Structures are given as structure tokens and as C-alpha cells.
Amino acid sequence: MDGSTLALIASFAVIALLVLRVPIAFALLAVAIAGLFIMGAGRTAEFNIEFGWRSTVSMLARDPYSFVASFTLMTIPMFLLMGNFAFYAGATSEAFRTARVWLGTLPGGLALASIAACALFAAISGSSLATAAAMGRIAVPEMLRSGYSKALASGTVAAGGTLGAMIPPSILIIIYGIFAEQSIGRLLIAGIIPGALSALAYMVYIYLRVKLNPSLAPMIAERFTWSARVRSLSGTWQFLVIFGVVITFIYTGITTPTEAAAVGAVSILTLGLVRRKLGLRTSWEAVRETVMQTGMIFAIAVASKILVSFVAFTGVSTELANWAASIEGSRVYVMIAICVIYILLGMFMDPIGIMLLTLPIVVPIVAALDYNLIWFGILLVKLLEIGMITPPVGLNVFVLKASVGDAVKLEQVFRGVSGFLLVDCVVIAILVALPELVLFLPGLMF
């Protein structure tokens, strides 16, 4: 059996296992082991089971350890720990309170404040799901009490949560950088402008929609003085300073992203202890959640790394890259096809699984088409953001629904995010038309 046929069968096998609800890590690992065994046993003149088993075990003994024992990979648990410390230190409630004071009196002010708070928390969490879950418990009940439309209130936070996937520190960007072998620092910095652009686009959409239909978001009666606005910053500026320090360290090259993440985690822990927002129990909960999240991500990543080795042995990535490079005058159409595929996959799979499943094949094609891989990484994360709020399996929507309980129906959340999906498409068009928005800051680094 030739490598291309075996790779095609493996792809269908992975999809079948995922449809059967087999956990992603186990599905990827099972197919990778079976594929490596078949390829190893088929290398001799006759199908040699012993040789196939030995070659597979040899790779299983080497690849997982060599992959996990990576200094760069330590960035993930450090940023996760930073985000969990920030959550238990009350960063979400303080971010929303500050944004509410500054934006609450505008049309759709609480919704605008929710987007701003999502962006602020995304700057220290690195996770879309964590941002949506944390803000859902705080912002949605506040908007519902003020008479906001349930669809607008829930859709705003579900869409705002996706900012956690783009604004650094982003776990998805880090994973992409590791597998695409691109600079983690440059990728994180490249996400700043697209993340800010996404947040601004969401806020413009909310403002215009409420101006056209004020019944969606009644104006709040409370008014805030400038002194109250300045005082509201007291609970937020410390977190923003820590974020600024972390980004500055990465941007200037003073530290590696891993070291910057460790500095951020220790700084937020210290801040929480000094302000008495963190205690022994809450600190332990933050560490426990970080260990659980890291274990899940690493399990998927290790299984994916073994699958990458199998795909490399089949040679299918090289063949597809050569095919893409040989197509005359259609690199734009190939990129459009890649974007459509990612949006479709996002309807049924989680972002990490999509990324690790597709990168071994997609990255060589993108490189062969002479696209900048830093730019493509940011575009890819934006596409995965869309998948996180796209039915039928929009993870942010389900996480938000779990956070708010019976206060909002699932179909109301999906209806609420529909307008934000159109905004995301506009943002993607801007990033494609103006790649300098992504590449400007990374180009100035060091």
C-alpha cells in the first residue's frame, strides 16, 4: 500500500473515531500507531509483523519525550497558570466593573463593557473558553437585569470570549508556533493588532445595532463622574501593567516567551497575595486547574506529534505541497479553500484538535504557495475563533450556556452570535487584504 493511500485511510479513520465520540488524543494516537505499524511492517519484502512492531515501539519511546521535554512548550502551562491566578484574584469582575463605569452610559453600554472586559481578561488568560465562562457568570446576569435582549447579552459574551484565542497570551498561537516551527514571540506580538481590531469591530457592531433598535439594550439610569471613572481603574491597572511588562519582555527580546510567562504568573500570584484576593485554597485551585488543562492539551499534542511523524513518513505532505506549488495563478483560490475547510471543521471539532490534525498537511501547502507563515498563523486562529461560535458545535456557546444556566436558551445564544459571525468575516477580509496589520509589529521586534 502506497503512502498516499494509507494517509487517506488514516484521515477517514480519525474522522470516524471522532464521530463516535472517541477522545481526540486517543483517536489520533490509535490511528498514528496503526499507521506506523503498517508502514514499518511493509518495508520488508514480506509483511514483517516483528519489524513493524519494533519500529513503532522505538518511535513511541522517543518522540513523546523529545516533544514534551521542550523549553518552548513550557509557555503553555505558565500562561495557563497566569490566567487561572488572575481569575481567582478577581480580574474578571474588576475588568467588567471598570469597563461598565467607562462605557455603561453609551448605547448598548453594558454590552460594550462586556467586550472591553473580555479583551482585558483575554490579555492575561490565553483561553477563549476561560474568557467566555468567566465573563458569562458576571456580565450576562448584569445585562439581563438591565432589560437587555437575551440574544444580544449572551451572544456578546460568547463572541467576546473568542478574543482569548487571539489577544496574547494565546494558547492556540503558541501551539501553532510549535508545530509550524515559527517564532512564538513574533506570533504572540502579531496577534495584538488583529485582536484589538476584532474587539473594536464587535463594539462598533453593538453600538450601531442598538442605535437602530434601542429596545435591545435599554439605557442604564446610573451616571458616573470622572472621579468615579478614575477610581474604577484602581482594580484593573495592576493587571494591565503586568500584561504590559510581559509583552514588553517578549517584544524587546529581554526574555523568551516562556520566561515572560513565568514572570507574569509569579507577578499575578504576588499581586493577589498582597491584595488578599488569593489565599492558600484559591491558589491551590488555580494550580490544580492548570495541571488539568495542561494535561489535556499535552495529551492531544503528544498524540498529534506521533501522527505528524506518521504523515511525514507517508510523504503526502510533500506531494500536496508540490501539487499546490505547481498550480498556475490560483494561490488565492487555494487559500480560500483552506479557509472554508477550517470554518467547516470548526462547526464540529474543538480548535486544538482541528489545528493539530490539519497542520502537518496545511503548513507545507501554505509554505509552498509562498504565504508568510506568521500571517497565516494569525489568520488560522481567527478562523478557529469563528468555529468556536458556529453551530452546531460552537464550544463558546455551550460553555456560556453552562455558565448562565436556564436564564438563556441555547437557540437564543446561537441567534445572538449570528451578527458577530458576519463581523468576523469582515475582519478576516481586512486581514487578507492588509497583511501588514499582522506583520507590522513582528517586523519591528528586536
CA of 34: how far to CAs of 73, 310, 349, in Å? 27, 9, 23
Residue range 190-205: mean pLDDT, rounded: 95
288 part of a folded domain: no
Q: Is the pLDDT of residue 446 over 60?
A: no
One domain, residues 64 and 85: no
One domain, residues 302 and 409: no
269 part of a folded domain: yes
149 part of a folded domain: yes
428 part of a folded domain: yes
Domain of residue 51: give its range.
1-69+298-313
Give the chain's mean pLDDT: 85
Helix or strand holding residue 124 (H, E)? helix 109-125
**What was the pLDDT predicted at 382?**
94
134 part of a folded domain: yes
Per-residue H/E/C for 204-269: HHHHHHHHHCHHHCCCCCCCCCHHHHHHHHHHCHHHHHHHHHHHHHHHHCCCCHHHHHHHHHHHHH
Higher pLDDT, 218 or 44: 218
Residue range 34-46: mean pLDDT, rounded: 72
* Count of domains for the chain: 2
One domain, residues 91 and 182: yes
Residue 89: name the closest of 293, 237, 283 by CA: 283
One domain, residues 139 and 215: yes
- The fraction of the chain above a pLDDT of 90, given in percent, is 28
One domain, residues 22 and 168: no
389 part of a folded domain: yes
Letter string b/e over residues 187-202, b meaning 16 or more CB atoms within 10 A of that residue's CB: bbbbbbbbbebbbebb
Q: Is the pLDDT of residue 402 over 60?
A: yes
Phi, psi of 329 (to 5 degrees): 65, 25
| pLDDT tens-digit readout, 247-285 | 888 888 888 888 998 998 999 899 889 888 888 899 999
One domain, residues 81 and 63: no
In this structure, the number of other CB atoms found within 10 A of the CB of residue 332 comes to 10
**What was the pLDDT predicted at 373?**
95
329 part of a folded domain: no
Residue 13: name the closest of 321, 311, 335 by CA: 311
One domain, residues 150 and 265: yes
pTM: 0.84
331 part of a folded domain: no
One domain, residues 239 and 259: yes
- For residues 154 and 415, what is the distance between their CA atoms, to the nearest angstrom? 9
One domain, residues 38 and 134: no
One domain, residues 82 and 166: yes
Residues 169, 78 contacting (CB under 8 angstroms): no
Q: What is the residue-wise DSSP string for 84-119? A: HHHHHTTHHHHHHHHHHHHHTTSTTHHHHHHHHHHH
